[in-house]
Chain A
Amino acid sequence: MSTPVKEEPNAAERFESAYNESMYGFHDESDPAYLTDIGLTPEVLGEISDEKDDPDWMRQYRLDCLKVFNEMTYPSWAPSIAGLDLQSIVAYVRPKARQEASWKDLPEDIQKTFDRLGIPEAERTSLAGVGAQYDSEVVYHNVKKEVADQGVVYTDFESALKGEYAGIVREHFMKLVPVNDHKFAALHGAVWSGGSFVYVPEGVHVDIPLQSYFRFNAPGAGQFEHTMIILEKDSYLHFIEGCSAPKYNVSNLHAGCVELYVGDGARLRYSTIENWSKNMYNLNTKRAIVGAGGTIEWVTGSFGSHTSSLYPTSILKGEGAHCEYTGITFAGAGQDLDTGMRVVHAAPRTTSNINAKSISKAGGACTYRSSVDVTRDGHGSTSSADCSSLILDSESRSDTIPTIRTLVDDVTIGHEAKVGRISSEAVFYLMSRGLSEEDARALIVTGFAEPIAKELPLEYAVEMNNLISLEMKGA
């Protein structure tokens, strides 16, 4: 009788094994305090409004958004969401925790979760404030006294909606991302929960970053946080967003919304390390509007999700406004990550720089999709874009689909892109120096991602490199 041959695990299995052993792949027993029925109905929205004690205008707004959601169709050009059954998603999951300002006051399992993710330590060592969301609610929110004393407001979104900032919130809520922008903007408006509100007064520089961290735990649920940041004239903020989730066999959905208002002369850096598990459908919407002389900087690392459709958009509304985009996307086995950015030059002498990289392996699919628009007000604007894509094997794919549209003549727009493989000469050289082939390829890919890593605070650059190493196992 012959000895059965043990099959070697494929790339997806190797990754899953490594992910589950990593700091992200664990999960707590899902035991929420409350969860809505599955599906998207007016009754579910009513439950959410009751749970959150929404003001009347928000109750009605949610219902209006649901109507728009039901009428709109999903765009045909976007990545497939055939595996997502929206009527099986639980829109709202309230954990057994109130919002606390001290980690010690949280339930033990939630506290341990964020400990394992390194959030409390990061807050102690390098952050001015932290908001931590667990499933649908913010469970921890704190800002350092010296930052609050400068007049900086950093609070959970529900508090901002109902407290002293209610007027500002209502004035700005879903104005940058209107309900009819696309189907999942409408969904967000209907079922949003959690998120943060940040306000930085004129002239204030917040020298240490603020961070929001989003952790999914419940299988088959959705997370729909809303983040709103308002920077007054000549102010500065670095905001960091992190996210992760354990992997389940059912789909989860993330359709958050980020609205950023950057005043004249202000500068906002918005960094994201996205590491959702590979059962997640990530259909997030992020948009910034920038005043005269203001700057928006996007730093984005997309590593997780089963399917992503993510295009941070910058509207350069004031003369001399500037947008900087630095991003990397890594698609492994089973992933379809459609990411990129949009910039609208809607004022004179606005500028944008785009540096986008992508890596595809083990059957993953990366699409870089972008749009640079210069309107009739965009006289004297300039834009340059550089996109590089690495394909690590012939099971994977990488597409680059940029569009440049100009309506005036006195502009200077340049775009270039390259796609190719890891140089075999470079791998050979590193192996001749003693590295294994796997380590050599991982080192080259880390070098490829270096322009993004150097834009992040050290701890996040290390996290990003760890994610790359995780992805490269068995590559």
Chain B
Amino acid sequence: MVEDNDVTLVLLDGLDPLPTPTWRRSNTNSASLELVTEAGSLPAAIPTVTISDDGGVRELDDSDVDEALTARFEVLECAAGPEAAALIAASSTPYYLEARTPREPALARSAATDTPSEAVAATQAVVTSGAGATDLRVIVREGTDATFIWPHGHNTSSTDPVLAVDPAATASENPAPTPSCSTGRRMRLVAERDAHVKLILTNTSEDAAPSFESIDLLAEQNAHIEVIQATLGRASSTSGLSAGLVGDDARLTVRSAYLASGTQHVDVSYVVHHLGARTECHLDTHGAAFDEAEKTYKGTIDFKRGCVQSIGAEREAVLLFSDRVSNISTPVILCEEEDVEGSHAAQIGHVEEDVLFYLQSRGLSVLQAQQVLVEAGFSPILDAIGDTDTRQAVQSTLTARLRQGIDRRNHA
């Protein structure tokens, strides 16, 4: 530990562990972060929740939370690893949300007149939490349609963030905000039978304090969980997601994007365990890396015995913009069931000269051409973010950081 006034740096090891480790020299078995803490620990960051008008989401208090409910969350594996789980547990108290909305509009009746009401909009909740540790537990009840948005950080106050930074300067010359405390957040979500959950997880923080997150999911029979994730913060971060598709016909879709620049370490890890029959997962990740960043992507599809007729597909595509960047990609398939289809693909590369030339011949500048090509990979993620405010925040951060990073590359 390094102490500087009240700020203590604590090394957190074993983050985002690979379920089946490999050569140590590959530097991919797990990650570590040096957290900025207050006297060695993280303060509890109590979330505030903005809930949609339909009342489909409610916060559960102590009287609502019994042992049975607690037990349903305790079985979820912590994607970020046991040390992270212990830190969160020691630093915060669990915060519970429940989503319960009937899917069929006809079932929604006005309480006063007992007549069918209008089709109910999807239930939505926006969770806001500051620096520190957050332990969020969400249960989405049977047949419920719900969206949860959990942003971390916010865009710069300027409407055009590019103007705030000299694009010709290196990342290390740009003044970084004084680091506040690190953020460690964990979401455990259980999607009951026939539930449809959309999770929008964004990191657009300008803060210099490293952060980690663990998204731990469980999908029961015919539940569908859709995750849209944008990892665009400026500080080093690890982001782990672990999903158990325990019920037959359960599905998980992950569309994610990340940027790594400056001297950031960015670690993105997905582990999907197929247990039920006819379960499906689709993981699609796009990224870009600049400067001296170090980026690690790990995606594991794990077919357990008995998950017959299940499908798992994973894809990562990353564009590199620096000859000092470090990129690690580890797409893994573990399989002990015969009757499955598993596939993965990884593409690592750069913007091809001939493609750039073509776009320049159509009137675009080098910077514009590169930006168009990179943003094309990110657009499916942006399109999937339904919430306007969130999409705009992600879009502006993405555009600004891409432009800065590409500019630095071109001036290098």
Contact = CB atoms under 8 A, between A and B. Distances in A.
Nearest to A368: B333
Interface string A396-440: 111111111111111111111111110000000000000000000
Contact of B23 (A77, A410, A415): A77
B28 A403 contact: yes
Contacts of B373: none
A398 B335 CA distance: 5
Contacts of B72: none
Given A391-B338, A403-B22, A406-B327, 8 more contacts: A399-B335, A400-B344, A401-B20, A401-B332, A405-B328, A412-B349, A416-B343, A417-B344
Contacts of A75: 23-24
Interface string B329-346: 111111111111111111
Given A391-B338, A399-B333, A404-B348, A409 B322 contact: yes
Given A403-B330, A405-B327, A409-B325, A394 B339 contact: yes
A236 B322 CA distance: 38
B350 interface: yes
Contacts of B350: 409-412
Nearest to B317: A414
Contact of A420 (B329, B336, B342): B342
A206 B287 CA distance: 48
B339 A409 contact: no
Interface string B315-326: 000001111111
A369 interface: yes
Contacts of A416: 343-346
Q: Which of A369, A407, A419 has the most CB of B within 10 A?
A: A419
Contact of B335 (A76, A77, A389, A393): A389
A98 interface: no
Nearest to A413: B348
Contacts, number: 139
Contact of B27 (A393, A402, A405): A405
Contacts of B339: 394, 421
Contacts of B410: none
B178 interface: no
A76 B333 CA distance: 19
Q: Which of A391, A405, A414 has the most CB of B within 10 A?
A: A405
Contacts of A398: 333, 335
16 contacts: A77-B21, A396-B338, A397-B334, A399-B332, A400-B333, A401-B330, A405-B329, A409-B325, A411-B348, A412-B348, A413-B346, A413-B347, A416-B345, A417-B333, A417-B344, A419-B341
B26 interface: yes
B341 A420 contact: yes
Contact of A408 (B20, B24, B25, B323): B323
Nearest to A385: B346
A247 interface: no
Nearest to A398: B335
A412 to B, nearest CB: 5
Contacts of B342: 417-420
Contacts of B344: 400, 415-417
Contacts of B303: 419
Contacts of A406: 320, 326-327, 348
B109 interface: no
A376 interface: yes
A420 B343 CA distance: 9
B330 A76 contact: no
The bracket for how many chain A residues form the interface is 35 or more
Contacts of A400: 332-333, 344
A414 B345 contact: yes
Contacts of B21: 76-77
A371 B343 contact: no
B250 to A, nearest CB: 20
Interface in B1-49: 20-29
Interface string A356-390: 00000000000001010000100100000000010
Contacts of A413: 346-349
A87 to B, nearest CB: 27
B22 A418 contact: no
A218 interface: no
A472 to B, nearest CB: 15
A414 B346 contact: yes
A392 interface: yes
A411 B329 CA distance: 14
A409 B338 CA distance: 38
A411 B20 contact: no
B346 A409 contact: no
B338 A371 contact: no
Contacts of A417: 331, 333, 342-345
B332 A394 contact: no
A392 B329 contact: no
Nearest to B25: A371
Given A404-B328, A409-B323, A392 B338 contact: yes
A417 B342 CA distance: 8
A376 B332 contact: no
A407 B326 contact: yes
Nearest to A408: B323
B22 A401 contact: yes
Contact of B328 (A376, A403, A410, A419): A403
B23 A371 contact: yes
A376 B326 CA distance: 10
A393 B346 CA distance: 28
Nearest to B332: A401
Contacts of A410: 320, 323, 350
B20 A415 contact: no
A391 B340 CA distance: 9
Contacts of B326: 405-407
B410 to A, nearest CB: 13
Contact of A396 (B321, B336, B343): B336
A383 to B, nearest CB: 9
Nearest to A384: B347
The 6 closest A-B pairs by CB, nearest first: A409-B320, A397-B336, A413-B348, A419-B342, A403-B26, A416-B345
A415 B336 contact: no
Interface string B345-388: 11111100000000000000000000000000000000000000
